[in-house]
Amino acid sequence: MHTPLPTAPTAADAGQYLALKARDARFDGRFFTGVTSTGIYCRPVCKVRTPKQENCRFFALASQAEAAGFRPCMRCRPELAPSGLQALGAQAWSTQDASAILARQAAQLLDAPQLWSDGAPSMGQVAERLGVSERHLRRIFEALWGVSPLQYLQTRRLLTAKQLLTDTQLPIAQVAALSGFASVRRFNTVFVAQYRLQPRALRSATGKSSYGSTGHNSGLQLKAAYRPPLDEAALLQFFAQRSLAGVEVVDVTQLRLARTLALDWAGQTLQGWVQLQLLPARSEVLITVSESLATALPLVMARVRSLLDLDADPHAIHAVLQGAFPNSAGLRVPGAVDGFELAVRAVLGQQITVQAARTLGARLVQRFGTPLATPITGLTHLFPSAAQLRHSSDDALGQLGIVCQRQQAIRALAAAVADGQLALNASADVPATLVALQALPGIGAWTAHYIAMRALRWPDAFPAGDVALHKALGVREQPRPAVAAEQASQAWRPWRSYATVRAWSLLN
């Protein structure tokens, strides 16, 4: 490990230093501050005494700070910060820079915990999945992010381990495995080399245990941060209006959401529940996870961040959309904990009201869902899996009120997902997935873009054929409203998913 050296301040550094002095949460995760006098790097919201400006170095990513020799602050905990990839990758989407898009996809794959169940992925595996050579991947990755893929991945793994050590009492060996390390020995070696601290010493220093309770719901508790502004009530109201009996319970007044969850992890299916308590005063979410999901905590955390869109950068988004939607800076794109579930619900919602789709979804859960005992009143079932729905009969689906066209679409979706032909998550190839979705029976452009918006986390999805969108944009009476909506949307790239949500909010 080398000692960080000071560098001459720049104009950008001056602006970041002002944000640091103000402890401005809007910049949380957008940069990290390395302090040369201590060798520590912090989030902008850190409450320690503000260091002198000449001792500060600023980094866009935590991995850049660690590559420069800085260690994470124990107080502000950089592992809790929202990801900075969205803002850094926005220009790639807007300019269609192929190399930048590829580098961003590589970072998303390295961030994907579902690839960690058998150890962290190799660069060769990531390059093969993206269809490029490993050498080319390393070159473009370093050009965009300023660190090598291996440095980026190591920081991701170490910060994940740091959070699990701090927030839980999981065994060290399990923490190592969940963080993508092949062995405890390798984990200890890397952790000590990077952080100059034994994993057990970190746990002793924090003295925290996650085995507690939130009300009557015992489980493991972790935290996640987000950048304000966030309209917490509007986000939960969206989920409440679409909640399925047995699967979800939403309390908008208390800013709380709970739901059941099934995860495929390390060759097995885990079943449990998660409860989310939004804490606006701290710009944080308290996450309570059933102990049955303990062996997949990184994946649970990733699903929660996706569900609540915790990694959104409101500042960058509003800079583009404020002209058309000036009073909607706090709105997020509601996500999903399971892409297949979201896709089925999208199919059920084709050309009917939200309430009618909710009724059909609840019937589907009662008929095909797996019963699950939970300590939370109202959570009784898991949403049916792809394996359960792929062989559902016409009669069984028809009795629920699902018409023939949607029956075919649901079974086709289920077969494609169950066979591994279709991945509906944030690390999927968006253009290829849009094509694959629209090749299935009963799925058109509207459904594909709705899935891309909420399940694939594509910020530039735009369901141009949406009738409610036409009404909100004032183009419903035009001869070709979808074309008019598409034309209007060009000014909102690369944030058209957020523009869609803002437009829908105008109708409430």
Catalytic residues: 42, 466
3-class secondary structure, 272: strand
- Chain-centre distance for alpha carbon 302: 5
CB contact at 8 A, 442 and 408 = yes
Paired tokens of 84: 């900075």
Helices (H), 257-338: 297-308, 314-321
In eight-state DSSP terms, residue 416 is: H
Which SS3 state, helix, strand or coil, does residue 196 take?
coil
Whole-number Å distance between alpha carbons of 461 and 453: 5
**Which token pair is 175?**
């923490």
Cβ pair 307, 258 in contact under 8 A? no
Instruction: Return the HEC string of 438-492.
Output: HCCCCCCHHHHHHHHHHCCCCCCCCCCCCHHHHHHHCCCCCCCHHHHHHHHHHHH
Residue 236 and residue 249 in contact, taking contact as beta carbons nearer than 8 Å: no
Quick one: the chain helix, strand, coil %, rounded to 5?
Answer: 50, 15, 35
